[in-house]
Structure 1
Amino acid sequence: MFSFFKRKPVLSDEDVAFQRETYKWLLKYFGGKDFYTHTQLVLPTDAFFPSHIASPDEAVTTTFLQVRQHAGMGIWPCALVPQEADDDTHVGPCLLIQQAPHSPNGTYCRYEGKAYISFNPELANHPARIVATFAHELGHYLTDDLPEPPPGGWENWEFATDLTAVFLGFGIFSANTAFNFQQYANGESQGWRSQRSGYLSDVELLFALALFCQLKGIRPESVTTYIKPSLKSMFLKCHKQIVRTEGLIADIRSVSRVSQSHDKHPRFE
């Protein structure tokens, strides 16, 4: 009997190729034991983020130090800089400022060998988003002076950096915070609001996370506990597409690390 129905892939061949080549780019310079032995899938648990925090400011600083340590960049010189707070868009009952400018979640620059990472103070109230933001900016720090650009050129660096955050172990946080749509109420008004983080979609990040799990030998069932309920089914579909794509994992795993000479500083020390 002929089948008239064909499974629709989660990602197009073009998008899969970009992720494959980006993983190979990262493994070429940061693979080997650093990835396959030392890198962990970071989970939103007390084991990774101890919760004994005295203040929001301490929470931000402590979280940054924990993210940097889990990324294997604990000794890399880095300063954390708060941005100016965003203007309050709620100016009265049922009155909101439309299209008000917002500061980015985070920014990165490097000067005289030291990285400077800024963060939006509003993120102090959103632990998962601040973890994803710090992971993204540390991805910039990791890759900013490699001898070859990411797939498609440096104009794709932000997209590749989203994948770098997943590569560093923070895929659950990246996928869970890529898009958020929720109800709010403050006593005077109520409604709905949406927030986007990063450059790739939640589906693209789920696919990258599923690739990470396949490369690391992590069962997808052990990951779904920590993924937003609305994303669990899509994550499993990503896993199935990866398994069905002949040669995908073998091709990525075939990459050997060129050397450690491109590390600005030693990792996992």
Structure 2
Amino acid sequence: MLSFITDTFKSKPLLSENENQWIMDTFVWAFEHFDGHFFIDQTQVVLPTNQYFPGQVSSIDAMAQQVFEQVVKYAGMQHWPLRLVAPNQLAPNVFPKMQFVGASRGEFAQLVVPVNQPILISFNPQQINQPQDLIASFAQAMAMILIKQKGVLPPGGEAFLPQATDLLAHFLGFGVMLSNTAYQFKGGCGSCYNPYANRQASLPETENLMCLALVSALKGSDKRKVAAQLKPHLRSQYKKAMKQIEERLAHTPEPIFLALLDKARANGVS
């Protein structure tokens, strides 16, 4: 009888075992193929605040350019030949096949580009009034470019590339914005909802929160500061995701997770 009562009040997992395992396996894939050392030393859990996105601008193009440059910097891709263009200037991209001398991300990354051919990225002007969608969309673009350049498939293969792109954007540090924009509430006043401004999310809200919790735990982020930047209805789920991820990490045999947890403890994070 006592065991029945205990089981009844146990917290129900947010995701199935297979979904949880795919997230863990795909994080390992991201760490192994997309500069895990940059994740250890420089990746931050970026927040949608003036601290991370400072400055004021007076035009749509200037706003997009400023946000784009910040996203590129946090992703560690400032040496990549990336160029933001207006939507009417975007042409079909032929990606130059680059070679990397050592790391591919970060201040000291060395890229060998065979021809002077930039990778063009554009933006949705409708998202200027929804900056978190703009940030998340740029993060997805960075992740897609990384995958295309490295040419490595995620766990589950090609069918899971869209979901892996979103997870890789979390790995780059943009999980708060990805979680906040995974679902857009359509209620309220009609003028408040603009479907054309919404980003295209491949991971549902709960999966995004679990990815955010994983990165937060491995980076030793302040859970209260992260939760404070989430939409109100997501905060309790994020706390639950953090608890479930911490329990999972406490029993993991994966060397990458163990090393990252040791690093967090060495930095004074409990």
In structure 2, relative to structure 1, the CA distance for the partners of 1:79 and 1:110 (3 Å cut) is farther
Greater helix proportion:
2
Match of 1:171 in 2: 175
Is 2:22 the counterpart of 1:18?
yes
In structure 2, relative to structure 1, the CA distance for the partners of 1:247 and 1:107 (3 Å cut) is farther
Is 2:63 the counterpart of 1:79?
no
- The counterpart of 1:68, out of the listed 52, 72, 79, is 72
Match of 2:227 in 1: 224
Match of 2:113 in 1: none
Match of 1:3 in 2: 4
What's the TM-score once normalised by structure 1's chain length?
A: 0.78
Query: Quick check: 2:133–2:199 contact (8 Å CA) kept in 1?
Result: no
Distance 1:214 1:166 in 2: 13
Match of 1:264 in 2: none
Give the fraction of aligned pairs with identical amino acids, expressed as a percent.
34
Query: Quick check: 1:107–1:117 contact (8 Å CA) kept in 2?
Result: no
Query: Quick check: 2:60–2:125 contact (8 Å CA) kept in 1?
Result: no
Tell me the amino acid that sits aligned with residue 70 of structure 2.
Q
Deviates more, 1:72-81 or 1:243-252: 243-252
Count of aligned pairs: 231
Unaligned regions of 5+ residues in structure 2, if any?
98-117, 261-270
Instruction: Give 3-state SS (helix, strand or coil) of 2:189's partner.
Output: strand
Match of 2:95 in 1: 111
Instruction: Give 3-state SS (helix, strand or coil) of 1:44's partner.
Output: coil
What's the TM-score once normalised by structure 2's chain length?
A: 0.77
Q: Describe the superposition over 1:26-69 as per-residue Cα deviations: whole angstroms up to 9, x where unpaired.
A: 11123443001111111111121113212122101111011101
Distance 2:86 2:194 in 1: 24
Match of 2:55 in 1: 51
Query: Quick check: 1:20–1:248 contact (8 Å CA) kept in 2?
Result: no
Query: Quick check: 1:163–1:208 contact (8 Å CA) kept in 2?
Result: yes
Greater strand proportion:
1
Instruction: Give 3-state SS (helix, strand or coil) of 1:79's partner.
Output: strand
Tell me the amino acid that sits aligned with residue 176 of structure 1.
N
- The counterpart of 1:235, out of the listed 215, 235, 238, is 238
Match of 1:128 in 2: 132
Query: Quick check: 1:23–1:252 contact (8 Å CA) kept in 2?
Result: no
Match of 1:138 in 2: 142
Distance 1:156 1:213 in 2: 23
Bigger relative contact order (CA 8 A; separation at least 6): 1
Instruction: Give 3-state SS (helix, strand or coil) of 1:116's partner.
Output: strand
In structure 2, relative to structure 1, the CA distance for the partners of 1:212 and 1:53 (3 Å cut) is same
Match of 2:204 in 1: 201
Is 2:185 the counterpart of 1:184?
no
Unaligned regions of 5+ residues in structure 1, if any?
85-105, 257-269
Distance 1:151 1:43 in 2: 28
